[in-house]
Amino acid sequence: MEKIDYTSRHHQIALYAKALAHPARVAILEFLAARECCFFGNLHDVLPIAKATVSQHLTVLKESGLIQGEIKPPQVRYCINKENWDVARDLFGVFFNDLKKIECS
């Protein structure tokens, strides 16, 4: 049997999953998705963590591509990056739905 390398799909799914792998980031994304875009302050007001930590989580989400930030002095407005969001949705959709034969005795 041949060793396989991880495909770029494997890596992409893992990266998006890593972005979702913390409750704070799930909450942030849900918050952004529910209202329209919102400011850092709104997120900080709502989350039970220090602003430095909020900023860190937002950086992780930005780097994953799932959100984007826009500086509107003196505030920063964040919103979902719809393009990449759709990519992630499709990746997870295919991943979870293309299971054919799983029955296991």
CB of 29 to DNA, least distance (A): 14
Residue 79 β-bridge partners: 68
Residue 38 β-bridge partners: 78
The answer to whether 46 contacts DNA (rule: CB under 7 A) is no
35: DSSP letter? S
Which residues are near a copy of itself by CB under 8 A? 1-7, 9-11, 13-14, 17-27, 29-30, 32-34, 36-37, 42, 45-48, 68, 77, 79-80, 82, 85, 88-89, 92-93, 95-104
Asked if 85 and 48 count as a contact pair (C-beta separation under 8 A), the reply is no
Task: Find the binding residues for DNA in span 79-98 (CB under 7 A).
Answer: none
Indicate the helix (H) or strand (E) that contains 20: none
d(CA 65, CA 61): 6
Residue type, 40: F
The answer to whether 40 contacts DNA (rule: CB under 7 A) is yes
Binding residues for DNA (CB under 7 A): 18, 21-22, 24, 39-41, 44, 49-60, 69, 73-76
